[in-house]
A and B are shown apart, each in its own frame.
Chain A
Amino acid sequence: MSADRPEDADALAPSPDRAGLRTDAIYLVVVALVAFRQLCNSMGTSPTIWEDTLIENLYVRDCLVDNHCTAVGAGATVGIFHSAGYLHWRSLLHAVGLHANGTFLTFHVLNALGVGLVAVAARRIAGPVAAALAVLIMVAGNGVPTQLNVISDVAPVPFLGAVFLLLAQTATARPTRATTVALGLLCGVMLNFYATGLLCGVSAVIVTLRFPKDRWKHTALVMAAFVVSTFVLSPLTWLVDLRIVLTRHIGHSPGMMNRLPLLEIPLAALSALALLLWGVSALWPPLRRRLDVVAAVILPLFVPVLAGYLRGSLDVQDKYFAHVVAAIAVGVGAGAMLPLNAAARWALGRLETRFPSRKAGIDRFSAMVRRSQALALPLAALLVFAGFNEPADTIEHLSYSYADVLSTARYLARARGWTSGQAQLGLLTPDELARRAAIRWATGWRASGTTSGLEHAYMLKMPVSDVLMQLPTGAEVVRRAADGRTVVVSTCSWIDWTAFRACTRRGDAPETCMDTALPIRNDGHQDYSEGIPGMPNPDGRDLSRQTLTLHFPLHPRPECPVTRVVMPRLPLLCPGVIASVDGVPATIEDSGRRVLLRYDTRPGAPQPRELAISWELGVPACWNQFRGHPPFFIEGDPDAVPFIERMIDPGPGAAEGPP
């Protein structure tokens, strides 16, 4: 069968007619609505705090405030620069008034539309049941693995991948110059959003090479559109990357590898399944051609990912599959249904031939089956609406969101008159990124005010299971959400963060010490570039094994007569120990994890003078976890400290932790 005949073009992917468009529109709207609700339920309506978002915010701020917009983009873990186009797009969203939550909900809307487009794509290939299956797979595959819970350059990619897939199908069904150019331009945009967009360009070329006619003309056109749009949107990114590629090794360093077996990565396994179904359908060429576009999208990613995995130079992650998740969904949904539909048609034909007297009954049965297929999508929509894949109550649910840090900032500004500078001195939380986000991202801090190194507040997340717990004096719930409560605990303290001494010792070398303080800075770049004087480098890249000891002069006083210090043990927290207490004899308990200190009210009585806390840096428990800021510990009022400890470490076994 030649592929040059018009009927073959239709076999590749049917072109929508007027009636089909009406059905498609219904599919798109219904699916997008339930997918949007599902995304809001499972991913929240406020972005989770994420390192990449905070770095992006610096670029957006530089662009909008200082008129210095990056021309090369952000660094990727594989060693190149990318995402400049995405950063410009994010800056545009911000400039038109879509700030943190607005941008996040925009991503939700787009990705919900992406699920709708997947339903349309699968329906056009293999009917309503395939559409329903594809919707379920797309919804299950999207989410935290494709970073839909945060603002990042990956988050809009599943939507872009869905647009690309449907456009490739449409272009294949009826090639025109407009659709071919649009394919190339879209790939250029995708590449400037996220580096895997390069593989979209390869997919676009494969798609045009499969066109039934004028394939070389269309291939040249799509390549030209892709190259020109890629370069025009951010020329310096690609000049710099070209230089990098030509001069150094690209890939993950061995220290960054998590090395999960490839098929234990859900989207990698689903990609393999989609390709397997495409291969199986090759036994019946008309079916295979219907899945060719899907394979053309998945293969250019899957092959290099597999090669990188086998060579050990790539830490394969679900997010790399973000632009093919739509193709995976359609590939599995349609790949499963096409052979089934064909087999059913064949069986009914055989029955009609064998039992011609029962043709009417067979026709009725066949019509009934066709009608019942229309129920597939409502059923899938119902499952999505009911949240069939919403995650269980995991640690992800207890991570901090923008809404948490915003509520905290507004509360502390209103109730205690805090400025951003005071927050830099006194806001404490076990999540260092949340602390930075509260200072750098949240609005609502007072513009001016006094600062005190002795004024502290802890920002905590309370799990749903603990919402009935009695709050100690000084604690306030500042945000109530379905996943828990955000609590701010104000407590008196003996530690003044404006004056302490930092000492480091490497191996047998003598200890070096420096008097230092938590700096108050207006520029978020300095969080990364300068750190705290006397403390090891903040980015951890030259973090050698060493002992960090912080010596805190203590400030006992009558209005704050007792203080308790606890060194918590949490998975992402450097474990420290209380090394010593000067001034009075003190019992340090629990292998250096706890001490209780009292102010002696007798005139002239000796008082606790100094507290020393040590951390081993550069060891597996404290490597990336160390961000240049003093690692978190709890110090304060004896009523507040046990509450804080319970909030951050609710698990019975977790409290023990590694020694």
Chain B
Amino acid sequence: MRLRTPLAVLGCIASLAVAVQAQDPTPYRGPPVLPPHAGPPAPPPAPLPEGQSPAPPPPLPEGQAPPPPPPLDQNVPMEAMTISRATAMTVGGLESLVILGAAWLAFFGAPRRRDDQR
């Protein structure tokens, strides 16, 4: 019982937030407010090696570039694989609920049922 009540409250809040997000036509108010893309964006490169001090590259012959990486998928570019903002917000909300619920259970344990008391 003690678990069900807070989870229900959290669920209601999350549903409300998702519903508001889905209905709200106002564009996002944070920085930076930029005009829409002129065309489909290219995917950003993979992050550099971590640690602020990248390893030196293997020596290349003058004027010769290393072979480019093979294309991932000729038919379905990554940037075309998108979902809507409402769906993303719903996923983010669900993740928050799972984390909160797991933390609650971790700390308090699952509620004891009558058959646990025997």
Contacts and interface: CB of A to CB of B under 8 A. Distances in A.
Contact of B109 (A58, A63, A179): A179
A545 B82 contact: no
Given A91-B92, A92-B93, A443 B109 contact: no
A281 interface: no
Interface string B44-60: 11111111111111101
A257 B55 contact: yes
- Most interface-central of B34, B35, B53, B102 (chain A CB within 10 A): B102
B81 A72 contact: yes
Interface residues of B, number: 72
B102 A185 contact: yes
A192 B95 contact: yes
Contacts of B102: 163-164, 167, 182-183, 185-186
Contacts of B51: 258, 317
A88 interface: yes
A434 interface: no
Nearest to A52: B47
Interface string B5-42: 00000000000010001000001101111111110011
Contacts of A62: 41, 82
Given A15-B109, A63-B85, A620-B56, A89 B116 contact: no
B99 A163 contact: yes
A528 B84 contact: no
A61 interface: yes
21 contacts: A15-B109, A52-B47, A55-B47, A65-B27, A69-B84, A75-B44, A91-B88, A163-B103, A167-B103, A179-B105, A189-B95, A258-B51, A441-B31, A506-B62, A508-B62, A524-B32, A529-B41, A542-B68, A544-B62, A623-B57, A625-B54
A522 B34 contact: yes
A315 B55 CA distance: 11
Contacts of B17: 96
A167 B30 contact: no
Contacts, number: 250
Contacts of B69: 541
Interface in B81-101: 81-85, 87-89, 91-96, 98-99, 101
A67 interface: yes
Contacts of A509: 63
Given A442-B31, A542-B65, A89 B106 contact: no
Contact of B58 (A240, A255, A442): A255
A525 interface: yes
Contacts of A76: 46-47
- Most interface-central of A24, A69, A545 (chain B CB within 10 A): A69
B92 A89 contact: yes
A70 B33 CA distance: 19
Given A71-B82, A623-B57, A21 B30 contact: no
Contacts of A170: 105-107, 109-110
A89 B95 contact: yes
Interface stretch (A129-137, A228-236, A559-567, A599-607): A228-236
Contacts of A52: 47
A189 B99 contact: yes
A275 B89 CA distance: 40
Chain A residues touching B, range: 35 or more
A521 to B, nearest CB: 9
A420 B56 contact: no
Given A69-B84, A319-B50, A529 B31 contact: no
A160 interface: yes
B107 A77 contact: no
A64 B85 contact: yes
A24 B107 contact: yes
Contacts of A85: 91-92, 95
A65 B28 contact: yes
B72 interface: yes
Nearest to B41: A525
B3 to A, nearest CB: 7
A167 B3 CA distance: 15
Given A72-B78, A74-B44, A178-B111, 19 more contacts: A16-B108, A51-B47, A61-B32, A69-B82, A70-B81, A75-B47, A89-B92, A91-B88, A96-B17, A163-B99, A174-B109, A244-B72, A440-B32, A507-B63, A523-B38, A528-B45, A542-B66, A624-B48, A625-B54
Contacts of A68: 82
Contact of A544 (B30, B46, B64): B64
A227 B88 CA distance: 19
B32 to A, nearest CB: 6
Contacts of A94: 28, 30
B60 to A, nearest CB: 5
